[in-house]
Amino acid sequence: MAVLTIKVVPEKILRTKAKKVNIIDRSIQKLLDDMVETMDWANGVGLAAPQVGVPLKAIVLGMPGEKPLYIINPEIVKKGEEITVEEGCLSIPGFRGEIKRCVSVTVKGLDYHGKPLRLKATELFAQALQHEIDHVNGVLYIDHLESPDKLFKITSRDDEN
Ligand code: NI
């Protein structure tokens, strides 16, 4: 495994819609393993492949106290009501913002071995999933800001995605 370089704004790949993964082979699994190592190294709770320079629909999540979760070709199929949350991103260091996210989501995709996966998440887990799925669609949390004053500078923080 290897720690990969995390791309930061304004790198173009962060604004590129990632491609669907058609074949799940060892190279994709190695990418997922490296993404988890990179996320852990950065003390993040989630990471999407475009953040490490790979334009593929693949995300990993590392909620505190949980085993890492790998989702290939993730897609939101159901959403709950919107709430206001605070969010940051490993690709936008030094800032956090206040945005709206759905309090719950149902997501489908493929697991590490290419088997279909479907899960329902709430609160922080749901927020992280929406954040990572945005990343594979070239969307950043700052796109959801209602106004520029909802973005603020921070010194450092551990649980970014
Ligand atoms: Ni992010």
CATH code, domain carrying 70: 3.90.45.10
The mean-pLDDT minimum among 53-57, 68-72, 120-124, 155-159 falls in 155-159
pLDDT of residue 37: 97
Please write the tens of the pLDDT for every residue from 116-140. Answer: 999 999 999 999 999 999 999 999 9
Q: Is 132 a catalytic residue?
A: yes
**Structural domain count of the chain:** 1
pLDDT, tens digit (0-9, with 9 covering 90-100), for 66-109: 999 999 999 999 999 999 999 999 999 999 999 999 999 999 99
Domain span including residue 111: 12-159
Q: Of residues 11, 75, 98, 132, which has the active-site annotation?
A: 132
Whether residue 7 is contained in a domain is answered as no
In a domain, 38, yes or no: yes
Report the C-alpha gap between 121 and 69 in whole angstroms.
Answer: 12
CA 153 vs CA 39, 87, 90, 97: distances in Å: 22, 12, 14, 9
First to last CA, the chain: 20
Task: Give the 3-state secondary structure of residue 39.
Answer: helix
Q: Rounded to the nearest whole angstrom, what is the distance from the C-alpha of residue 131 to the centroid of ligand 1?
A: 6
- How many A from CA of 66 to the centre of ligand 1? 19
Q: How far apart are the CA of 133 and the centre of ligand 1, in A? A: 10
The answer to whether residue 85 is domain-embedded is yes
> What's at 55, amino acid-wise?
P
Neighbour tally for 94: CB within 10 Å:
12
